[in-house]
Structure 1
């Protein structure tokens, strides 16, 4: 501040500086000094002026000067004093003005600084407002774009919704959905046609308000199943349209959810399969008719064939000349050939119905090869062909194999080899290669020097009904099914069949089968029991003659009944050890005869063996109908020995642990454990498992027919099917399934219609649950053994 003041003073006017000096020195002192200085100036001026003018100074001049000075000095001093005062006031005013100006300057600086800050703040706010404006513009732009996109999406969603709705309405399938409470929430036009209500009328209604009570119960039950298990189901049911039409629908029900996985209800799709079901029924009926036709043909053809094979076999055992023996052997071989050709037809039907089964037995490969070779050798001799059989060592002594199926495979191959060879050799080679301690890969190779097969036909030779179109093959015709059946049987045995051939040089078929090495002794084919009292029930005299002669030759006593009633009367009057019962009799079938014998307790100590030419049925079906065993026609001596030994010869006892104390088993409410244990002890685990497997395969079909019959309100068919299920369940010890089926079959029950749907549902659940428990029980028995 001092520097600023000094600088300011240096530039002040001189009068102000004099005024400041006088003010600082004092006015009186300054006045006295001024008077003195004025007197001195006056004396000096008077003296020099006088001296200049007259060169002489006078006293009066000095007195005049003093008087004039004294007269003028006060005025001058007054003027000067006033001037000084004015100047001082001016100075003070100027100082005040400067001070004020300084204050104003400082205020101005402060205001300027404040203004600068305000400007900066304002610029900052302006910048922020610009940024905010830009952000708002960006937000508005994004919002506008989002609104545009949303509008486009809404339009697209609307178009898709309209398209989807059009598709749903145009769909020939029945579509509807219901909420968690079971109320209709939407449907398509087919559902509207079916119910006779519009979608708006349906919304909010339950199945009980739309369908008849029986259908509503079935629909609600399946809905509940979907909701409880949170899974989709497929069911088939009859639906009645508003116009009275009844259509068969396959319904698919699935739970459906919102975007946040909240379950909203049930979505159902139904496809009209009435025509398909009718077609399936037609096919099933055709298959049934075909099976019945084959069964009839089987009986009619095997009856004379039984006589041809049986009598020719018996005739070969008599004293004949070599020429007569050759003739009889040819007849015998021809009969065997016809039987095997017919087996192809039977197996073809079984393959169509997936009923071809394997029955593993202990077999000696050497003996098997020798037996087969002896028959083929007869055929080869008729054509002057050389037949050679060679078994290459080492070879497993015994293997587990279905001898009947293996014989059928090799018979087809060997028979074809003989048929298509005009001269030369037919050979059978057998060798084995050990795979592990329990399995051996056995190879059968059938070769011939016949016409051969063209290369282009090798890939087609195993096709059903395929026959080589070649002049060389015209001389020997066939059905074209033998090789196809061979391939399927080999596949069933987990094996492989292949062929190689050169035109004019011959053909070789190779069959590779993985066979289990048997540690069981082979069943001795020697009859161990004689003197049995046998009742032979057969209506064909030729069959009676053959069977009676064979049985008596084996040391048995035979009585003959030609009808079912005659057999029942003879069983009432005499106790027999065995009843050989033909299934097709003139007055009743063999199953009805067996049923009467069991009901009257005429066969408590007697075995019943079915004697039948109908090889369509499985062995289990005969066992389920009261038979203890079954023998197919034409009757083979080896089969009779096998059955007689198994029925009447005690098996070696097997040591076992003492039976535990009886205890209550919860399985008793589900399974008939006493029956199952008896079956296991009697026929063995393997046979019980086979029976269970057959039941497991057939049960879905039984249940489907039962459900269809119930949907169609066919009470008699429902009861009949339930009776069938009851019988099948009882044969495998499914006690609860048998009990429920028994309730369903009682159609005369007063509340049958009110309860049958619940019973059928219980039957479905019990069949699935109890079957698994039965399988587990059988597995545990294996472990315990």
Structure 2
């Protein structure tokens, strides 16, 4: 076995030794194949790097092309559009500034990489010089003129030259694009040549060195992988070019301002709309913070601080902010700032979108000012109404008070007729004043309503009696057709019901010359203690056309303009009456025929008072006698002093009279009074101040203070009561209203101070 084994080993060694050159050749060829495969791999790697560099170069070319020559061409086109549409001088100058900036940027040496030739760069510089020296002065000359004053020939000539300039830049853009495509085509050709040469090399190596199949297989696998990388890079280059062009078109088309900032709040990029709107170029803002360029006097610092805090925390933020352009123009912007995150979710910067909301902001300011003006106008209107009410009611108080007193004296028939006529005229004037005050209160929504038991029969009887003398003078038949089904008492606002009836019946008598006026009340639809009260007022008067009926329920409207001169009135009665009726759950409807009369149907939703509540209501007594009361009257008007004095005398009272609030305070400090009738507007000291000082004196007994004032607007009563007064009587007052005030005061005073109360022997 040993001998045999040694013999075999010796034979193999002899075989190798006999073929040593061939073995070394095989090894050498294997090493050569390996070396060649290594060289091929290195070459492919180097060319792959060149391919990647070609991608980056193409990106730079596209970006340079978009931001220079294309923008210059577009700005020239915009200037042509402005000239063709007769834009203002400011618009032409601003656009000319954009063209100047773009032409200067297009002539920089850096565009050698874009255009690929010095002669094309020279063309760009020639175009820039042509614009600056030949076209810009002509644009400025036209901008200095009004659109109508511009010479059409000059405009056409300038537009023709601008068209040549635009074509030149268009050619430069096209040549730059051709140059970019040539570079891309060259890169693709190199790639294809590399692939073909590599494949030929490996095929030759495969045919020549079959013994190095393993090495060639490994090299083939390596080449396949590199080929995949080259193909992926080629696809990435094509997709990148398409994406860049798409994004560039989007950014160029939008009018919204776009910009990005880094985590330190510095500009890193702005779009064309930013440059166009704000007047700053990309180079002007790079590395600067927005507050350094965009903020001004109207920029809200609190909003800026909040925005900076959100940026510091990496959060989204929306706000409205005043920004300023490079030339100082204020623009209100809606700002939306969002963080930009990397693959790990870390904030790498922020993207901001701004939209011009200057018009909306101005509209909001105008609306706010209009609201303030309206409020000021309403306050002025209220002050005017209060003044006019006081100034009219003060003398009217004397007129109605004296006629009221005069009617209590012995008069012959002729004298009584004169006094009653004067009193009716005064009541008519008072009704006009009340109508004006009521329509103001209704418009402001301040009208007050009461819910108390009242007798509808008394209201109807008072209304009919009030107009009976007027009807007799005109020879009219004023009739009240009773409905026995109406209960003794209803619950509601008797004053407002009477006001509605006075307006409607007064209108019927006013516009009726012959015939009759009939008032027909009845209850309908009783349900759960409530009833619909329907009052129909029919007259045989002049009537109104049907098409004018809706206008009668508007403030200050009349059926005919001539009726104002013939019949008088304010045109407020029906408007107020319908509003009052609607507030009490009803309405007013009117039907009329011209020349044949009018029918007014009033409906009110009122509660029915039960029988046990009816027994608790008593009718008013005759004039009471208050001889035991100590009354102080504070009134500055001498005539009204006289009226109040005489009325109190009729009620059995001998008052003390002073002329202002200070005298009233002094009188209370020296004497004891049960009741103080306090005017509000007086010289030296007004009634409100006086009553507060009286309360501070804390006299014994505590006097009952009644506001006796011509201030009769809605809210005056509450204001005076809040100031320390106990009751309120508005001017013009009657002896009945004064007597009622004394009765209310007597019910609140100690029995020793109230004094005897009984009918006035008069």
User: TM-score with structure 2 length normalisation?
Assistant: 0.53
Contact 1:538 1:585 in 2 (8 A): yes
| 1:377 matched to 2:474 | no
Q: For residues 182 and 357 of structure 1, do their structure 2 counterparts lie closer, same or farther at Cα, with a shift above 3 Å needed?
A: farther
Q: For residues 258 and 639 of structure 1, do their structure 2 counterparts lie closer, same or farther at Cα, with a shift above 3 Å needed?
A: farther
Match of 2:501 among 394, 403, 410: 410
Q: For residues 234 and 524 of structure 1, do their structure 2 counterparts lie closer, same or farther at Cα, with a shift above 3 Å needed?
A: farther
Contact 2:446 2:714 in 1 (8 A): no
> 1:59 is matched with which residue?
none
Partner of 1:435: helix, strand, or coil?
strand
Q: For residues 647 and 219 of structure 1, do their structure 2 counterparts lie closer, same or farther at Cα, with a shift above 3 Å needed?
A: farther
Distance 2:319 2:489 in 1: 49
Q: Which residues of 2 match residues 329-728 of structure 1 at below 5 A? A: 329-469=420-560, 475-518=566-609, 520=613, 521-522=616-617, 525-526=620-621, 530=626, 531-602=628-699, 605-618=702-715, 619-649=717-747
Q: CA RMSD in A?
A: 5.5
User: TM-score with structure 1 length normalisation?
Assistant: 0.52
Q: For residues 222 and 448 of structure 1, do their structure 2 counterparts lie closer, same or farther at Cα, with a shift above 3 Å needed?
A: farther
Alpha-carbon shift at residue 352 of structure 1 (Å): 3.7
Q: Which residues of 2 match residues 9-48 of structure 1 at below 5 A? A: none
Contact 2:679 2:708 in 1 (8 A): yes
Contact 2:675 2:703 in 1 (8 A): yes
Q: For residues 555 and 603 of structure 1, do their structure 2 counterparts lie closer, same or farther at Cα, with a shift above 3 Å needed?
A: same
Alpha-carbon shift at residue 507 of structure 1 (Å): 0.7
Partner of 1:475: helix, strand, or coil?
helix
Q: For residues 573 and 392 of structure 1, do their structure 2 counterparts lie closer, same or farther at Cα, with a shift above 3 Å needed?
A: same
Distance 2:296 2:396 in 1: 63
Partner of 2:409: helix, strand, or coil?
coil
- Structure 1's unaligned 5+ residue stretches are 1-141, 167-175, 225-231, 652-785
Alpha-carbon shift at residue 508 of structure 1 (Å): 1.2
Q: Which residues of 2 match residues 56-455 of structure 1 at below 5 A? A: 154=247, 158=251, 162-165=254-257, 271-272=361-362, 273-455=364-546
* Largest Rg, 1 or 2: 1
Contact 2:706 2:728 in 1 (8 A): yes
Distance 1:202 1:598 in 2: 66
| Deviation per residue, 1:217-272 (Å, 9 max, x gap) | 79989999xxxxxxx9999x9x99999x9x9x9x999999999xxxx999998934
Contact 1:451 1:473 in 2 (8 A): no
| Deviation per residue, 1:626-680 (Å, 9 max, x gap) | 22221111113443344444444269xxxxxxxxxxxxxxxxxxxxxxxxxxxxx
Contact 1:537 1:579 in 2 (8 A): yes
Q: For residues 626 and 459 of structure 1, do their structure 2 counterparts lie closer, same or farther at Cα, with a shift above 3 Å needed?
A: same
| Deviation per residue, 1:393-445 (Å, 9 max, x gap) | 31132223223222222212111111111111122222112432232111122
| Deviation per residue, 1:737-773 (Å, 9 max, x gap) | xxxxxxxxxxxxxxxxxxxxxxxxxxxxxxxxxxxxx
Partner of 1:555: helix, strand, or coil?
coil
Distance 2:451 2:702 in 1: 29
Q: For residues 646 and 152 of structure 1, do their structure 2 counterparts lie closer, same or farther at Cα, with a shift above 3 Å needed?
A: farther
Contact 1:528 1:649 in 2 (8 A): no
Q: Which residues of 2 match residues 766-781 of structure 1 at below 5 A? A: none
Distance 1:265 1:595 in 2: 63
Contact 2:541 2:596 in 1 (8 A): yes
Alpha-carbon shift at residue 611 of structure 1 (Å): 1.0
Q: For residues 201 and 579 of structure 1, do their structure 2 counterparts lie closer, same or farther at Cα, with a shift above 3 Å needed?
A: farther
Partner of 2:527: helix, strand, or coil?
coil
Greater shift in the superposed pair: 519-528 or 610-619: 519-528
Distance 1:327 1:450 in 2: 27
Distance 1:234 1:640 in 2: 64
Greater shift in the superposed pair: 467-476 or 547-556: 467-476
Distance 1:523 1:218 in 2: 69
Greater shift in the superposed pair: 632-641 or 365-374: 632-641
Contact 2:537 2:600 in 1 (8 A): yes
Contact 1:421 1:448 in 2 (8 A): yes
| Deviation per residue, 1:127-160 (Å, 9 max, x gap) | xxxxxxxxxxxxxxx9999999988985675467
Partner of 1:461: helix, strand, or coil?
helix
Contact 2:681 2:687 in 1 (8 A): yes
How many residues are aligned here?
A: 487
Q: For residues 620 and 163 of structure 1, do their structure 2 counterparts lie closer, same or farther at Cα, with a shift above 3 Å needed?
A: same
Q: For residues 571 and 475 of structure 1, do their structure 2 counterparts lie closer, same or farther at Cα, with a shift above 3 Å needed?
A: same
Distance 2:404 2:318 in 1: 60
Contact 1:420 1:450 in 2 (8 A): yes
